Structure 1
Amino acid sequence: MFSSKKPDPFFNALYDIAVNCNKAAHYAEEFKITSIADLKELSVTLKKYETDGDTLIHNLIQMLNKSFMTPIEREDILELAVRMDDILDGIEGCIAHFEMFSLTEVDDYMRDFLKYIVLSSDEIMKAMTHLTNKKLVNMREHAILIKDYERKCDEVLRTSIKQLFLHEQDPIRIIQFKDIYEQLEEVADYCQNVANSMDTIIMRNA
């Protein structure tokens, strides 16, 4: 269906969006928070990733507006791009809440969420590599794994909130931790949305 000799600029643009999102996810997971100053540094860096992501989306939209032909439906290209960008926005927003709360404590539940989000972003990267190589069917295995990671995050959310209400006495900390847990689970949902978009593209084009 596609010419295998020439790289497609739209698929390359989607790959670049995935790379930026993946770098941000890894940075958030690997960064060690030990002080309020660390929170500021983390927040500023993720804001830059988020701004770079907005620029990539803007450039893709300009390409779509100028192009008469696209390798797949232009709506599918834009939806996949925006859903990947949602992940980045979600990560940046969650870290902004860490800074807003001056929360330097990262517990095991938060680490579990971040682990699965990073694993999902890794699978998205692999899927976008298949897309740039115009091997759409190969994206399916990565979509399946992303959905499995999202289910694991659902389990983490249920356990984390249950344990929070069982053991935490400070109402302020309950509000803060519950907010962070729910935001991280929402980022996992955004990852699943990307997998769903990939499934749609496979169904329509493979």
Structure 2
Amino acid sequence: MFSSKKEDPFFAALHKIAENINKSAHYAQDFKITSIADLKELSVTLKKYETDGDKLIHELIQMLNKSFMTPIEREDILELAVRMDDIIDGIEGCIAHFEMFSLTEVDDYMRDFLKFITLSTDEIVAAMKHLLNKKLLDMRDHAILIKDYERKCDEVLRTSIKQLFLHEKDPIRIIQFKDIYEQLEEVADYCQNVANTMDTIIMRNA
């Protein structure tokens, strides 16, 4: 169906979007928070990743508007891009809440969420590389892994909230930590949405 001799600009754009999300996830996961100043630095950097992502989406939309032919349905290209953009928006929004709460404590549950989210973005980049190489069927294994990571995040959410209500007595901290846990799980849901969109593209085109 696809010519393998020439790199498609739409698939290349999707790959760039995925790489930006992946870099932001790794940055958030690797960053060590020890002070309020660290929270500000983390928030500012994640906002830059989010802004860069918005620019990449805008460039892709311009390409779609100017192009008569696309390698797959233009709606699928846009859907995949928007679903990926949700991930970086979610990460940036969660980190913004850390700063708003002045929350310098990162517990093991938050680390687990970030680990699975980051692993999911690794799989998204790998899948977009297959798309770039026009090997759509090879995307399927990555979609399966992403969904598995989302299930693991569901388990982390249930355990984390249960333990929070069992052991935490400060109502403010309960509100703060529950908010962070739920936001991180929502980011995992966004990753699963990308996997679902990949499945749709495979079904329609492979």
Partners of 1:64 and 1:71 lie apart in 2 by 11
Return the offset for 1:33. Answer: 0.1
Q: Which amino acid aligns with 2:22?
A: N
Matched, 1:48 2:30: no
Please state whether the residue corresponding to 2:185 is helix, strand or coil: helix
Root mean square deviation of aligned Cα:
0.2
Q: How does 1:13-162 map to 2 (within 5 A)?
A: 13-162=13-162
Please state whether the residue corresponding to 2:180 is helix, strand or coil: helix
Return the offset for 1:26. Answer: 0.1
Q: Which amino acid aligns with 1:13?
A: A
Please state whether the residue corresponding to 1:161 is helix, strand or coil: helix
What are the ranges of 5 or more consecutive residues in structure 1 without an aligned counterpart?
none
Please state whether the residue corresponding to 2:203 is helix, strand or coil: helix
Return the offset for 1:129. Answer: 0.3
What are the ranges of 5 or more consecutive residues in structure 2 without an aligned counterpart?
none
TM-score, normalisation: structure 1: 1.00
Return the offset for 1:104. Answer: 0.1
Return the offset for 1:143. Answer: 0.1
Return the offset for 1:113. Answer: 0.1
Partners of 2:187 and 2:23 lie apart in 1 by 15
Return the offset for 1:126. Answer: 0.3
Q: Which amino acid aligns with 1:109?
A: Y
Offset from partner CA, 1:151-176 (integer Å, 9 cap, x none): 00000000000000000000000000
Partners of 2:192 and 2:88 lie apart in 1 by 14
The share of aligned pairs that are identical, in percent, is 88
- Across the two proteins, how many residue pairs are aligned to each other? 206
Q: Which amino acid aligns with 2:39?
A: L
Offset from partner CA, 1:87-133 (integer Å, 9 cap, x none): 00000000000000000000000000000000000000000000000
Q: Which amino acid aligns with 1:140?
A: R
Structure 1 consecutive aligned stretches of length 4 or more whose deviation exceeds 3 Å? none
Return the offset for 1:195. Answer: 0.1
